[in-house]
Amino acid sequence: MIDLEEKLLTRWSARKFLIAGIFIAAIGYLPLQLYVMFGPRDGNPIGLGLLFITATPVGLGVVAIGLIKLIVGFFLGRRI
């Protein structure tokens, strides 16, 4: 059982969590920002707003998991 737990903990490094979280947050933020910059002034991008509202907190949560994993690894003396 310990071997299985170790494999699950080391499958994704903190760096992968950070990159994935930033990517998810960017996927949620960039379409709405591009619409605001280049879209019509009287447009109402409801779908892009919903994408922003759901994807950005999820991405920031994944970044938080990566930061926690990075801090714990630092204190335990593990490699990043």
Q: Is the pLDDT of residue 78 over 70?
A: no
- When pLDDT is averaged across residues 27-54 and rounded to a whole number, the result is 94
Query: Percent of the chain having pLDDT more than 70?
Result: 86
DSSP state of 10: H
**Identity of residue 31:** P
Contact 59, 24 (CB under 8 A): yes
Write the CB contacts of 35 (distance below 8 Å, at least 6 apart in sequence).
43, 45, 48
Mean pLDDT of 42-60: 95
- The answer to whether residue 12 scores a pLDDT higher than 90 is no
State phi, psi for 44 to the nearest 5 degrees: -135, 85
